[in-house]
Chains A and B, each alone.
Chain A
Amino acid sequence: MTELVGSQAEKIREFISELSGFALVAEYTLSTIEKDMEANKSMFSVFSDRMLAIRGTAQQLELKNIAEIAGLGEEIAVKGSGAETRSQIRKCVGSLWDALTTVKYLLEHHAEETSEEQDILIHRLQATLKAFGGSRPKVDEDEIAKLLRDRG
């Protein structure tokens, strides 16, 4: 949010403090899913929502790695809620623990350079998402403007 109001460092401090709470909700959710994967798979949507909140604010603050990993976590969680077999759910849960652990680490060490381990994780999450059919279709600003115009 460089262009908006206040110093970037101050906004990042506020963000880290606030979103660390969101990460805790995501952690609790994942633990609950793990206790009974099939019965609790609807809770993937809670995880997905928290990852979206983290992604949106991370994008705003230009914290690209956090935004990218949270975005992958968001999409994999969506796949988890629609997974039909226990092994698929287990694979989603495993990937989401990796994503969440890394997001939490990056929230605490946002000033550090990207490590090779993080790049490897991003590739692994991308591969997992691809194996589940890839991200949901997205639209950009121009397409949204067109959809609004077409509505009349």
Chain B
Amino acid sequence: MLREEVSVLVVDDVNTMRTQIKLLLKSFGFRHVSLASHGEEAMHMILNGTFHLILADWQMAPMNGLDLLRFVRTNEAHKNACFIMVTADNTKENVIGAIQLGVDDYLLKPLTADSIQNKVYGVLLKKGVLA
């Protein structure tokens, strides 16, 4: 698949953050970038669409990033979607929890253009979404 065909969902309750991440992904050449402001909204969008990559914040309500990850990994139609947790929460217990639930990578704030690009391409290549 080409990067122009990859469908990305960015989930963050801070508008400033999700808008910035979307603009950055667009600048990398990703054409299909959708936004959700919390996990529940993201869950409905996932059920009604196809996303190859989900970038989700951890702390959101209703439905946080970990619960969204759990939903994705237990949903037969979407369980193989790439999932990157984007958060300032680097407590060991929470990181391990996300890894055990099947997160593909973990992007710590503060984000840089390079860090986002590296993680996004790394995960898409590793899971065979991008050739």
Interface string of A1-44 (1 = CB under 8 A from B): 10111100001001100110000000000000000000000000
Q: Known contacts A138-B90, A139-B90: does B111 contact A4 (CB below 8 Å)?
A: yes
Cβ–Cβ < 8 Å partners of A60 in chain B: 17, 20, 109-111
Q: Check: A117 CB closer than 8 A to any chain B CB.
A: no
Interface string of B92-106 (1 = CB under 8 A from A): 110110011000011
Interface bin, chain B? 20 to 34
Q: Is the CB of A136 within 8 A of B93?
A: yes
Q: Check: B47 CB closer than 8 A to any chain A CB.
A: no
Q: Check: B77 CB closer than 8 A to any chain A CB.
A: no
A70 to B: closest C-beta gap in Å:
9
A122 to B: closest C-beta gap in Å:
18
Cβ–Cβ < 8 Å partners of A55 in chain B: 88
Contact of B99 among A15, A56, A141, A147 (CB under 8 A): A147
Q: Is the CB of A1 within 8 A of B14?
A: no
Chain A interface main SS type = helix
Q: Check: A148 CB closer than 8 A to any chain B CB.
A: yes
Q: Is the CB of A56 within 8 A of B14?
A: yes
Q: Bound state CA distance, A12 and B125, in angstroms?
A: 34
Q: Check: A140 CB closer than 8 A to any chain B CB.
A: yes
Cβ–Cβ < 8 Å partners of B74 in chain A: none
State the interface size on chain A (CB cutoff 8 A).
Answer: 30
- Closest Cβ neighbor of B89 among chain A residues: A52
Contact of B20 among A4, A19, A62, A148 (CB under 8 A): A4
Interface string of B10-26 (1 = CB under 8 A from A): 00011111001001100
Q: Known contacts A139-B90, A147-B95, A148-B105: does B13 contact A53 (CB below 8 Å)?
A: yes
Q: Check: B61 CB closer than 8 A to any chain A CB.
A: yes
Q: Is the CB of A11 within 8 A of B89?
A: no
Cβ–Cβ < 8 Å partners of B108 in chain A: 140-141, 144
- Closest Cβ neighbor of A75 among chain B residues: B91
Q: Bound state CA distance, A144 and B109, in angstroms?
A: 13
> What would 21 A/B residue contacts be, using CB atoms closer than 8 Å?
A3-B113, A3-B114, A4-B20, A4-B23, A6-B20, A14-B15, A15-B16, A18-B14, A19-B14, A49-B59, A56-B57, A57-B17, A60-B17, A136-B91, A137-B92, A137-B93, A138-B92, A139-B91, A141-B108, A143-B92, A144-B95
Given A5-B23, A139-B92, 14 more pairs with CB closer than 8 A: A1-B20, A1-B111, A4-B111, A6-B23, A49-B59, A52-B58, A52-B87, A53-B13, A56-B14, A59-B109, A140-B90, A144-B90, A144-B95, A147-B99
What residues of chain B have their CB less than 8 Å away from a CB belonging to chain A?
A: 13-17, 20, 23-24, 27, 57-59, 61, 87-93, 95-96, 99-100, 105-106, 108-114
